[in-house]
Amino acid sequence: MDMDAKLLQFYLDMKSPEAGPWNSSPQCLHTEVVTRDYIRKTFPVTEGMQVFNVGIGTGDWDDYLGYWLNGRGQLTSIEIDEEICELFTYRQKREGHPNPATIICKSIFDPSLPKEEFDLITLIGSAINEVGEFTRCLDACFRLLKRGGYIMFMANIKYSPIEMLQEYISNTNYTLEKQDLYDEFPEYPFYICKLRK
């Protein structure tokens, strides 16, 4: 399949009977609005800001981050799945994204990743669960983060209880500066936290 055919299939999959019900649901749209609004209200964009996102998936969040930073900062996104990396790179190019992500097609656990290079790291949605190894994943994110930098952590309460995060932080020198719970839709309750290195 050539890349345009793969891209068409990607767009069709987003609207398929499997993904469509969730993607078009109020729960999904609410989660997206809250998460996007949270980052722009909580973290001021500074000149040359370096942001890092863990797990591309559909790439919608990465697209948004690139627009948010456009003209001032850069996004680096890591993703372990080579096909996702290839299609996301092609899609951003084909759609003419003005501030495309630099993509690292590796695991977040790869020892060759840079140390203390980023101002803000985002870990949202099912990323922490899909990566697995809660503590090791957060350790890897903090390793990438500059001193004084932040992690924006968003997760579903049912799959990643907030107590797990609080316990993790209590065993480190990092701080949990802010935690907000969103349970307007009890079927998908989630929280967003601001963590500082």
Ligand X SMILES: C[S@@+](CC[C@H](N)C(=O)[O-])C[C@H]1O[C@@H](n2cnc3c(N)ncnc32)[C@H](O)[C@@H]1O
| CB of 107 or CB of 166, closer to ligand X | 107
CB of 83 vs ligand X, minimal distance in Å: 9
> How would you list the strands of the sheet with 190-196, edge to edge?
102-104, 74-78, 50-54, 118-123, 145-156, 190-196, 175-182
Please give the Cα distance from 105 to 194 (Å, whole number): 26
Please give the Cα distance from 175 to 197 (Å, whole number): 7
Q: Is 130 in the site for ligand X (CB under 6 A)?
A: yes
Among 39, 51, 56, 195, binds ligand X (CB under 6 A): 56
Q: Is 84 in the site for ligand X (CB under 6 A)?
A: yes
Size of the site for ligand X (CB under 6 A): 18
How is 103-136 classified by DSSP, letter by letter? EE-S-TT-TTS-SS-EEEEEE-TTHHHHH--HHH
Among 25, 49, 57, 185, binds ligand X (CB under 6 A): 57
Residue 1: other Cβ atoms inside 10 A: 8
Among 51, 75, 80, 155, binds ligand X (CB under 6 A): 80
| CB of 115 or CB of 147, closer to ligand X | 115
5's CB contacts (< 8 A; 6+ apart) are: none
CB of 45 vs ligand X, minimal distance in Å: 19
CB of 32 vs ligand X, minimal distance in Å: 8
Which positions lie near ligand X, rule CB under 6 A?
Answer: 55-57, 61, 78-81, 84, 107-109, 124-127, 130-131
